Chains A and B, each alone.
Chain A
Amino acid sequence: MEGRNSVVQIAGRSGLLFSFWDEKEIIVYHLKSGDTHTVNPVAGEVLRVLNERLIASGDLYDLVADRMGYINDDEFRSYLDEVLQELSNIELLEVN
């Protein structure tokens, strides 16, 4: 991502709807585009955080790691960057 102070938000400043089954199977509905996606639990947690607030990417790493019980180390941040990029590719979020 573009730095720890860049702001990450849901694309189009829209909201998301979620369906969860066993916390592992997650479906996300983007209200603005009307698109439906399946996402993995980490991506689901990222989107849940972003659906609640605007957040700097540095804080996002901390919050997601905390909620999911991961250590916020280089490996985790690198993985989360990939997740954010993928979510950006499918036009679910944008980084400013």
Chain B
Amino acid sequence: MRVSELSVHEIGLMLQTSGINLTTGPFVYRIKSSLSDVAKAIKILYQDFLVSIDHNFADFHIRIDPPNGFRRWFRPQANFYFDNTKPFSPMAVGNAVALLEWGMNWCVSTYVNQYLKIHAAVLEKDGMAVIMPGSPGAGKSTLCAGLMLKGWRLLSDELALVSFDAETVTPTYRPVSLKNESIDVISGFDTEAVLGPVVKDTHKGTVAHLKINNDDVNSIVESKPACIIFPKYKKDTEQKLTPCPKAAAFIKTAENSFNYSMLGEQGFKTMTRLIDRCDCYYFKYSDLTTAIAEFNALEPWR
């Protein structure tokens, strides 16, 4: 069944008992939680996703719950549990939804190694993908959200999963994580953008998640890597797309990879194949509309 067929109350009951199996791309998460905010957020952000309550295999068993003891009541907190271990420090209970999203990302970035994993937004059009690696604050999530809202298919705003032959990028559909000013930018950019709860005072500032609006989030449609673009938002700057030398693109992409070093020779060979097949650019922008127009005019999508 789809999440949209369930009420918040039903989702909450499932989360508190058997948990729900949520499939995103090739991964299945079994999620449990006693927190109503988590149920509400799943209802909003994952409404098009298929869920089940069966006990079939799940890749990741996670739970968002208050800690035991007085912190359940006094300045209440939430913990992220992975296989009943706590990889992170607890956070204020108001941050539970952000903690769920970060924890889900952490599962893949930590434990999945059958791909070359790059910290990057990935979008697709006409079967070809653009990969946008970026350090926090570079403006990649804002650009990613804008492109998605204007017809590009979002594969991920956090993780590029590149096959070892570099022929495909595998989607791991998830909401787009927006931070601080970009929340208002995207709300103003498209009034139909659906945002989850706005979470304040996290270690990343104010955070909200944008519902993915792909036509189909329940099938794995792989794409061919075509471009790597290193975006940089700078207020009032002149928009500029500049070719990035291949060697520089290699190093910058490797720096943004979660497992390039761990994969060793395989990582090097895959990164070489990826850089070989992609056009690589630096991209400075300040206006979302003209930035999207520039993407639409790039050679693979012209």
Contacts and interface: CB of A to CB of B under 8 A. Distances in A.
Interface of A: 17, 19, 21, 25-27, 29, 31, 34, 36, 38
Contacts, number: 36
A27 B265 contact: no
**Interface on chain B toward A: helix, strand, loop, or mixed SS?**
helix
B275 A36 contact: no
Interface string B215-251: 0000000000000000000000000000001111011
A29 B265 contact: yes
Nearest to A17: B268
B272 interface: yes
Contacts of A19: 247, 250, 268, 272, 275-276
Contact of A36 (B245, B246, B268): B268
Interface string B15-45: 0000000000000000000000000000000
A21 to B, nearest CB: 4
B251 A36 contact: yes
Interface residues of B, number: 15
A21 B7 CA distance: 55
Interface in B246-289: 246-248, 250-251, 254, 261, 264-265, 268-269, 272, 275-276
A34 B250 contact: no
A21 B246 contact: yes
A76 to B, nearest CB: 24
A38 B247 contact: yes
Given A19-B250, A25-B248, A27-B251, 7 more contacts: A21-B246, A25-B246, A27-B247, A31-B264, A34-B264, A36-B268, A38-B248
Given A17-B268, A17-B269, A19-B275, A27 B261 contact: no
Contacts of A36: 250-251, 254, 268
A34 B272 CA distance: 15
A25 B247 contact: yes
Contact of B247 (A17, A21, A31, A34): A21
15 contacts: A17-B268, A21-B245, A21-B275, A25-B246, A25-B247, A26-B247, A29-B265, A31-B265, A34-B261, A34-B264, A36-B250, A36-B268, A38-B247, A38-B248, A38-B251
A27 B250 contact: yes
Q: Which 10 A-B pairs have the closest CB atoms?
A: A25-B247, A21-B246, A29-B268, A19-B272, A38-B247, A25-B246, A27-B250, A27-B247, A17-B268, A25-B245
A26 to B, nearest CB: 7
A26 B248 CA distance: 10
B217 to A, nearest CB: 35
Contacts of B276: 19
Contacts of A34: 261, 264
A28 to B, nearest CB: 9
Nearest to A25: B247
Interface string B70-93: 000000000000000000000000
Interface in B44-100: none
Contacts of A25: 245-248
Contacts of A26: 247
Contacts of B265: 17, 29, 31
